[in-house]
Amino acid sequence: MSVLLIAGSPSERSRSAALLDAIEQRLEARGTLVERVLIRDLSPQSLVLADVSHPSISQALAKVARARAIVVATPIYKAAYSGVLKLFLDLLPQTAFKGKTVLPLATGGSPHHMLALDYALRPVLQSLSADHILPGVFAIDGQVVLLPSDAHQLDVELAQRLERAVDLLPSSAGWNKVVAPLAGIFEPIDFSRVRCSV
């Protein structure tokens, strides 16, 4: 089983991609297989023309199909997710996210853009039949500092929110469920002693 990270920024380096990097590090530390789709690296003409036969597009669609969970990251421009992300999502069949858990991530210049996660992106993810959409993680630009050599530094509070989001991914996708043994916590009760009231 794998988690697919979809980078929806048109920029080569971006804060939303830095959020994906942080998610990837946390998932790989737990032994999860991670794949990526960088929308900016897909054929622009094929994206615009919805040419799903182009190799870059067909490979990206295959990654979506085999992923069990999907993390979508986008910058917020003018209270909406990025145009390149919209082009990619428009290529997907209506049931592309069926059976999958989706975690939306976004970055923006102001906390006022936070609502774009719920009012712009979430309805599109729901329209793609996602089984479960986790609460999104929004970061303002000041919480993600891009450093030289493709590194980044996250605000402590943001890093904690990403950690909690990763904690939700496996359990909500049905992975690694560990049932704690109840022996010694509750005394076994014979069925004949069970009483029901209505």
pLDDT, tens digit, for every residue of 132-146? 999 999 998 888 887
74 vs 185, more confident = 74
Separation CA 193–CA 141 (nearest Å) = 60
Residue at 36: amino acid letter: R
| Structural domains in the chain (count) | 1
Q: Which domain holds residue 88?
A: 2-193
| 198 belongs to a structural domain | no
From the list 146, 165, 127, the residue with the least C-alpha distance to 26 is: 165
Domain with 161 in it: what CATH number?
3.40.50.360
pLDDT, tens digit, for every residue of 17-61? 999 999 999 999 888 999 999 999 999 999 999 999 999 999 999
pTM check: above 0.75: yes
- What's CA 85's distance to the chain center, in Å? 13
